[in-house]
Amino acid sequence: MNDNSVTIKDPVLSIRNLCVSYDKGKYAVDNVSADIKRNAVTAIMGPSGCGKSTMLRAINRMHELYENIETKGNLILNGKDITDMPTIQLRRKVGMVFQRPNPFPTMSIYDNVIAGYKLNGIRLKKSERDDIVERSLSDVTLWEEVKDTLHKKGSFLSGGQQQRLCIARALAFDPEVILLDEPTSALDPVATSKIEDLLVKLKENYSILMVTHNMSQAARISDYSMFMYLGELVEYGKTKDMFTRPKDRRTEEYLTGKFG
């Protein structure tokens, strides 16, 4: 039932029979399999509680923090199963950006960008650090705005700037996949459109998997779309195809606003 309607060659990430349950026997993500395309934006859509965030968080094993959550299935990142990787290595390869901008309030903008290195005790030369900070901030088009205030606290920035800072923090590790969990739902329209432009630009170098509540956002910026409902991957395909000719009745009803 969860057959992919698309075949993707050389996927960056393969999800195989992924099941996540919060309560024993009740699956928030129910046997999902999908391949994620390299250097593209893939959107995960669906009504609240359909398991889209849960699935995203399974990809960098955030669920391991909570004892009651059980994850089954395989996640293969560039040919390697992530369940065997040390979490530090995995999370360097899979960056994550959250719903609300969450820069570290005690750190400066500069330190926030290299927080991954700093907090993991990875020593870098000053020139290397400067390079990473400038490259990451330029990637998220924040460099020009903050280059004179790098040593001020990140929490002084506007919401949209903070979210771009958080994306820069994820990019600093030069990850293979970036996971975004409704990255614009706490932002105003102007900041949202900046982030959207940014994601379209970033896919040249990164593979992006994004959860979104916003159908028009998925339509605007994603190349591939998934539609999830009650933990099940209902439909997966090219965004253009899914929006113009949905195959499943539930997808069609969701896209036309009948529920969700």
Partner 1 sequence: MSSSANLMVDNLGRRTLKDKFYKVLVVVLSIVTISPIVLIIYELIVKGYRQISFDFILKTPPDTFEAMTALSSGELIPGGIANGLTGTLLMVVLASVIAIPVGVITGIYLYENPGKFLANLTRNVSDVLQGVPSIVLGLIAYMWIVKPITNGFSALAGSVSLSIMMLPMIVRSTEETLKMIPQTIKEAALALGVPYYKVILRVLIPTSFSGLLTGILLGISRVLGETAPLMLTALGSTMINLDITKPTSAVPLLIWEFYNDPNMVDLIWSSSLLLMAMVLALNLISKRIAARTK
CA–CA distances in Å: residue 101 to residues 21, 117, 187: 27, 20, 9
Closer of 80 and 249 to partner 1 (Cβ): 80
Closer of 116 and 246 to partner 1 (Cβ): 116
Instruction: Tell me which residues touch partner 1 (CB under 8 A).
Output: 60, 62, 65, 87-92, 95-96, 98-100, 102-106, 115-116, 119-121, 166, 169-170, 173
Closer of 212 and 225 to partner 1 (Cβ): 212
CB of 141 to partner 1, least distance (A): 21
> b/e string for 59-78 if b means 16 or more Cβ within 10 A?
bbbbbeeeeebebebebbbe
For 153, the token pair is 């606290």
Closest CA to 45 of 194, 243, 245: 243
| Residue 29: burial class (beta carbons within 10 Å; 0-12, 13-18, 19+) | buried
CB of 38 to partner 1, least distance (A): 21
CA–CA distances in Å: residue 237 to residues 7, 16, 234, 244: 9, 17, 10, 11
Closer of 46 and 95 to partner 1 (Cβ): 95
Closer of 91 and 164 to partner 1 (Cβ): 91
3-state SS class at 99: coil
Q: CA triplet 21, 1, 46: central angle to 5 degrees?
A: 60
CB of 10 to partner 1, least distance (A): 26
Closer of 101 and 246 to partner 1 (Cβ): 101
Closer of 88 and 249 to partner 1 (Cβ): 88
CB of 166 to partner 1, least distance (A): 7
Alpha-carbon distance 148 to 121, whole Å? 26
CB of 73 to partner 1, least distance (A): 20
CB of 84 to partner 1, least distance (A): 15
Alpha-carbon distance 198 to 200, whole Å? 5
Return the DSSP state at 22.
E
